[in-house]
Structure 1
């Protein structure tokens, strides 16, 4: 935002005020939003925890011993705690949907290219959106953000009807609803509360006339999926001007070293492989489903500091320890499909919110919002608030 510093959550970044606002910021301001301030994020958005030199520890309003998720950590905590009714967030591997699940909020990742920033982030994995309490607020915000941008690298026309209006239309029945509750990455356990949240969702959708189908998403082998994603993810901090590179956090230094070890020919091959995997998944999705329901995360909001186990010896353990949080979300950053996290459930033992993710075919945000509105009517969540300590 013009006149405000942009530090990307890093103690190494410049503190100089920005000369111009990003297009997303301009759309918010033009729509009448009043910016209240900036919220915390993990350094360069690399982790779903914000616990760093620059910003300290961001905590979950539902339980301060736990993370609010991330990388849009402060955005989730601010909306959940009532500091603001809506917060901008960005999602390159789950950074809107993960804090939505951790904080009991609605978080929509739009289709790749629908919302444009000044530049394309991490080969199109990343996109802007919002965190809100209600589907209606998310729909109205998407009407503000989804505008044709003739200066962008790619940008579709402005949608011909508003998302807020689409949400109010009668929802079609007989949708083919697919299910994925096993981790897309081998060896990751899915918490029973996350599976139960999916069960509650399917029961509700079946009751209003949708069909639960027995089809499998054509996911590639774990090693292919992880390699494709990390080839691009490793360069997430590129282009950020640093005042003191020595203050970059250890895991991001390791990511930068990994990125520098790949020559440009191999990087291009990795990007091409990512596109091939995306095509395989989306074509299978189109053949099998109208919507797919998954847990948003494979775990409850982790304890503060959980990402640090083993990271002193191997800084990249910080990312591996975060896999249970992003294992269901990051797939759809690769495919570019729209996906929403809805706060339909709470864990009985801890009282913590548990989100479910619904994924649609590209450009069907309207369908996601309609179905989410149905779930919201069946399981009202807007007035659920963290306990007052």
Structure 2
């Protein structure tokens, strides 16, 4: 098996081969490390690698499989890339900022501890924009991260390095976090699978574990790999009061969606949508209908006021945190970070209260509507992607209309507002630029299994993703 073929094996397949002793975790981890170096100049998706520790962990994993003792964990020997905001004890976590270039974590975040305890091998850390505050992926700390499908475009953000690394075969699993779409945006732009769990399903750290927009979650190249990783991440944690009991264990239910009722909206009733995104979304909806589901377009009656409420929430909490750096450290910040931080200074408590009222009105319509449907479908992004070096001050024009340059070209943020809904982003096709597009599969509150059931059926109908060289990015430096 070639190094490239090894790098595109998914977690479920790797575990099967490890158990049969047909492939060694050592050779897989080494192949992934080699591919990181081979693609570094093309996409710049990885900021740190840990070759010595990763190979040592892989050798221990190999011994567990060879012993036949049954002691291997649920992710034993599977390479894993951590986002450069997930603290790992003893390792630098920069948050994509020059201000934290030498910041060494004292302890591991709960998600990192759980993944390590499950036997995964952390071989790389993926790039993120500064403080994960944008939907694209460049920073003064790490430079520009590019989309493997077309390097002129961004892989999305803030988990942009994770999305690019998965698409380029640098890792089979990657961590992400999502307060405005930061898992689903890069999942869509890179053609991978990303899950925003319901609020409280996966533990996080204070203070943002208390922000109901905040959702740590898994990213992978297949639905089952994403589910496997989510089962490791999920469950109550003693350090996070928001985590849900009991732990939900997802299963690979492939019974299909025949007879299901699915609602969809292409534009939420007010957004501008790129024609290629629209066409790919409609084709995905046709696939779901061909599987025996009844699909129905619905009117959400949302407006740009909903968007402004989401922006107010972000400014009041996340932006206020960034505003702490508007002192003698400000000159070290990226321009987009300064812009976001300064915007937060004009938000008051009444503004925040009003944003919560808008969220309440959204659910008063969406919640009762979903009682008549099993799922809701919509695009993940309104455009395939923006430029890799996108300037936040640049206008974005869709169908001749200027939209907000921060999240106005994305469609993930409403489900941070409707935070108890599970959401999977899965590929819907590719644009003429080569950049993938995606759809969001949205479930009723806390009904994660339904979302995965539908995704399994859809993935099977689509034939899966990344199965051959023709379905993978072509990178100049790659093997």
After TM superposition, the score normalised by the length of structure 1 is 0.88
Distance change (3 Å), C-alpha of 1:272 and 1:355: closer
2:96 is equivalent to residue 9 of structure 1: yes
Distance 1:60 1:174 in 2: 38
Q: Is the 2:135–2:407 Cα contact (8 Å) retained in structure 1?
A: no
* TM-aligned CA distance change 1:106 to 1:125, over 3 Å: same
Q: Is the 8 A contact 1:92 1:125 kept in 2?
A: yes
Instruction: Map 1:46-61 to 2 at 5 A.
Output: 46-61=133-148
> Per-residue displacement from partner, 1:34-61 (whole Å, max 9, x unpaired)?
1113211111222111122111000011
Matched, 1:236 2:318: yes
CA contact (8 A) 1:13 1:244 kept: no
Taking the TM superposition and a 5 Å limit, the aligned residue runs for 1:113-152 are: 113-119=200-206, 120-121=208-209, 123-152=211-240
Unaligned runs of 5+ in 2: 1-87, 396-402
User: Which 10-residue stretch deviates more, 146-155 or 16-25?
Assistant: 146-155
Counterpart of 1:111? 198
Flag the 1:169–1:378 CA change in 2: closer, same or farther, 3 A. Answer: closer
Question: 1:192: which partner in 2?
Answer: 275
Q: Distance in 2 between matches of 1:113 and 1:95?
A: 17
- 8 Å contact kept, 1:122–1:232: no
In structure 2, the residue matched to 1:314 is none
Deviations 1:175-194 (A, max 9, x none): 2111111255x4x5311221
Cα gap change, 1:116 to 1:275, in 2 (>3 Å): farther
Question: Per the alignment, do residues 344 and 272 of structure 1 end up closer, same or farther by CA in structure 2, a change over 3 Å counting?
Answer: closer
Secondary structure of 2:122's counterpart equals coil
SS at match of 2:125: coil
Q: How many angstroms apart in 1 are the aligned matches of 2:352 and 2:406?
A: 26
CA distance in 2, matches of 1:299, 1:133: 21
Measured in 1, the distance between the counterparts of 2:244 and 2:387 equals 40
Is the aligned partner of 1:154 residue 2:235?
no
Structure 2 CA distance for aligned equivalents of residues 370 and 352 of structure 1: 26
| More contact order relative to length (CA 8 Å, sep ≥ 6) | 1
User: What stretches of structure 1 of length at least 5 have no aligned partner?
Assistant: 312-318
Kept in 2: contact 1:44–1:237 (CA 8 A): no
Of 167, 188, 191, the residue aligned with 1:80 is 167
Tell me what 2:261 maps to.
Answer: 176
CA RMSD of aligned residues (A): 2.4
Cα shift readout 1:286-344 (whole Å, capped 9, x = no counterpart):
23422111111111222223334448xxxxxxx92243542x21000111121111113
The answer to whether the 8 Å contact 1:147/1:157 transfers is: yes
Q: Measure how far apart 1:123 and its partner are.
A: 2.0
**Partner-residue secondary structure (3-state), 2:259:** coil
Equivalent residue, structure 1, for 2:361: 277
CA distance in 1, matches of 2:127, 2:387: 18
Tell me the CA shift for residue 214 of structure 1.
4.0
> Residues 375 and 169 from structure 1, CA distance in 2 versus in 1: closer, same or farther, beyond 3 angstroms?
closer
Kindly provide the CA deviation profile for residues 57-82 of structure 1, in whole angstroms up to 9, marking residues without a partner as x.
00011111111111111101111111
* CA distances 1:260-297 after superposition (whole Å, capped 9, x unpaired): 3334x325524532542343244244234221111111
